[in-house]
Structures are given as structure tokens and as C-alpha cells.
Structure 1
Amino acid sequence: MTKIKICGLFRPCDIEYVNAVRPDWCGFIVNFPKSHRNRTPDQVRALRRGLAEGVVPVGVFVDQPVEDVAALLNDGTISVAQLHGHEDAAYIAALRAAAPGHPVWRAFKVRGPEDLEAAGASPADLVILDNGYGTGETFDWSMAGGVARPFLLAGGLTPENIPDAIRLLHPYGLDISSGVETDKQKDPEKIRAAVAAARKA
């Protein structure tokens, strides 16, 4: 069964929405003010306290200091670090040393074969193939057919196109945010539909 992550939770009601349908993971965007979903570490800690058991919390970071990411992993606020900036192999190694035993994911903006090669060579535990700009649009999925390692698919996913994404690409999991929003707010019915579509497929 394809796994699913609902990303960009930023309100207490968002926690209630994911608790109701139990996706595999949920995501919090940490210290990235460019996003309307941004939250501080303390705000994430407060939201995390309401999360149902079994939904794995993921912290999403863009070029944050290793020690800041490790602190949230080590205190149990998040279980996975998802990296979206310029974090390289040395950064990943330093994070693993600072917070041993926690998975590290790395996102790649897919624009051409070189991006897929970089994803394939990444030392991260799991890679995310993403459109990368938060536009709610997909990248050219035909480019992802040759990826030999498990990956999460992100960018432009909606409850409506999830079945096609799974049928065409067979991703390990899906990472969805704007596709389950209405007017930049998480929509409980869209979350329910997305999780159902992933589980059905």
C-alpha cells in the first residue's frame, strides 16, 4: 500500500483532521517564514502534543542549523527530518551524528536527468521527488520512471490525481499539502479523500 504524508499542518484543527483519518506521516514546516504554514519550534511542540499515536511527525527544514533540527528530533517533537535546502552529504552525516537513529529525508526539485541522478546518489534514507516551488503543480512525471530507489512523490498532488500517480510511478509514498487545502487552509474533506485515494490504490 502506498503511504501518504499530509504536510504543512499549522493550526490545532489541522491536527484534528489528520487524527481523524490517520495518514502515515504528517509534516510541520519549521522556521521558514516564506511559507504561510511556517511554525516556530515551540509552536510545533504544542501542535505535536495533540497528535494521535501512529501518525509519524516529520519536520520540514530549509538550510537550518544542524543543532536546531537535532533538538527537535532528540526531544521527540519530530521523528523524521525532511530537508529542502542546500543540505549536502556532510550536513546529513552531521545530523545523523547529532541525532542518531532518526531517518533523514532529502527533497529534490526535478527539472532534468541530473536531478534524478542526484536523488539516486543521495545518502538520505528516503528521497522526495518534487516540483519544488509550492505552486500546486506537478513536474513532468515521465522523467521519474527510471528512479531505482524508493521515493516520495510531491508537487501538485490532489485526491483526484493520486490514483494516476500511483499507477504510473509506484512511489513508496505521497507528500501532499496544497492539494488538500481550500483558500490556503487545510480542508478536512480533501484530507479524507486524499488518504482514502492512497489507501484504495
Structure 2
Amino acid sequence: MTKIKICGLTRFEDINAVNSAKPDYIGFVFAESKRQVDIETAKRLKSALNQEIKAVGVFVNQPIEEIISLANARIIDIIQLHGDEDEEYISNLREEVSLPIIKAMRIRQKSDVKKTKSDFALFDTYDKNQYGGSGVSFNWELLQGYEGDFFLAGGLQSDNIEEAIKTVKPFCVDISSGVETNGIKDQRKILEIVEKVRRINYE
């Protein structure tokens, strides 16, 4: 059964929307981004989040100490590394925290699809100008034959979510701009896409 993550939450209105829709995961972006939140904001938002929804912290090449602090404060439940973090970085992080780790890979060609020592891979669209959040999808057929649970990101929205799930059968779909209107999370779109994923799971 495909799970669903709504990423890039920044406001209490976003929290209210996901509490109504009940996706499996939400994402707080701590890396430099238009969706970036600071630690205090994330702490307040997490306190209002339904406890059944897991909070993923998204990081890009950030000091391990910052991640440890957020993990120890229970502001995040899962770690997502979306930069150039290598296997040594992941090993060092594992020595300090016990939270699951997602490692993102930006896909241009088949050779970009690699195994990782993290708990989950996340496959996103390659964009030379940014590490993620481009809102553009990639050729999902490049993932054919990959063994292991993975998150699928990159340009997912209501119009293509069914095709994505049926094509590559991801463990989880990761959506951000696909549930926004004018750069702001849209409660109607969040409810619609979560309901759609749930319905696909039972078809």
C-alpha cells in the first residue's frame, strides 16, 4: 500500500490541512529554500500535528549536530538527506541518532539510481540549480528493476499520481508543489490527492 508525504509545511493552516487529510508523513524543510522553516517554527508546528503523522526533517549538506538537536527535541521523526551527503556522513549520523534515514538521489539517467545504506532511497528530478522542489517529474521507467523501498518525488500532482504509483509502485509518494496554489499549500488539493492515493491502494 503506497504511503503519502506532504512536504514543505510552513504554517498552522498547513498543519490543519494535513490533520484533516491524514497523510502518513509531512516534511519540514530546514535547508535553504522558499519553504524553509526555523527550529522554533517547526517545534510549534509539530506540537499541533496529529501524532499519527510522522514529521520528516529535510536537510541539505547541514552539520550533523543540527540534525541531532532536532531529533533529540523530538521535532522530527525521520531524517531526509537531500544534498551530497555520502555514506560516511550517514554512518556518522547513525552513531548519534536512531531515527530512520531517507537519502535523496536526483535522477537524470539510469546510473543515478543507486543503492544506499540509508533506510530508504528517495528519487527526485535532477535540477542543476537546486537540490529539490523543482516541481518537474523525471522518466520513472529509469526506476524499473530497483529493489527496495523508496520514496518518489518530483512533479507529482493529482493528474499524474495514479500513473506514477502504477508504473513504479513506490513505498511512498512525496508531494510539495503539486498541492500548492500560488506557492501556498492548498487544503483542497491536499485532501484531494490523499484521498486519491488511498483509493488507488484499494483498487
Do they superpose with TM above 0.5?
yes
TM range (shorter): over 0.9
**Counterpart mapping for 1:67-106 below 5 A:** 67-99=65-97, 101-106=98-103
Q: Which amino acid aligns with 1:41?
A: I
Query: Distance between the aligned counterparts of 1:148 and 1:53, measured in 2?
Result: 30
Report if aligned partners of 1:104, 1:125 keep a CA contact under 8 Å in 2.
yes
The residue aligned with 2:130 is none
Describe the shift of the 1:125–1:172 C-alpha distance in structure 2 as closer, same or farther (beyond 3 A).
Answer: same
Match of 1:40 among 18, 38, 41: 38
Q: Which amino acid aligns with 2:99?
A: H
The residue aligned with 2:27 is 27
Aligned residues: 195
Matched position secondary structure for 1:129: strand
**Counterpart mapping for 1:11-22 below 5 A:** 11-22=11-22
The residue aligned with 1:147 is 146
Structure 2 unaligned blocks of 5 or more: 128-132
Q: Deviations over 1:117-137 (max 9, x none)?
A: x2x2x1000010111442211
Scaled by the length of structure 1, the TM-score of the pair is 0.94
Residue identity over aligned pairs, in percent, reads: 41
Computed over aligned residues only, the root mean square deviation of the Cα atoms, in angstroms, reads 1.0
Report if aligned partners of 2:122, 2:152 keep a CA contact under 8 Å in 1.
yes
The residue aligned with 2:163 is 164
Tell me which stretches of 4 or more aligned residues in structure 1 moved more than 2 Å. Answer: 132-135
The residue aligned with 1:63 is 61
Report if aligned partners of 1:155, 1:176 keep a CA contact under 8 Å in 2.
yes
Q: Which amino acid aligns with 1:110?
A: I
Query: Distance between the aligned counterparts of 1:168 and 1:103, measured in 2?
Result: 26
The residue aligned with 1:173 is 172
Q: Which amino acid aligns with 1:104?
A: I
Structure 1 unaligned blocks of 5 or more: none
Describe the shift of the 1:39–1:132 C-alpha distance in structure 2 as closer, same or farther (beyond 3 A).
Answer: farther
Q: Which amino acid aligns with 1:186?
A: K
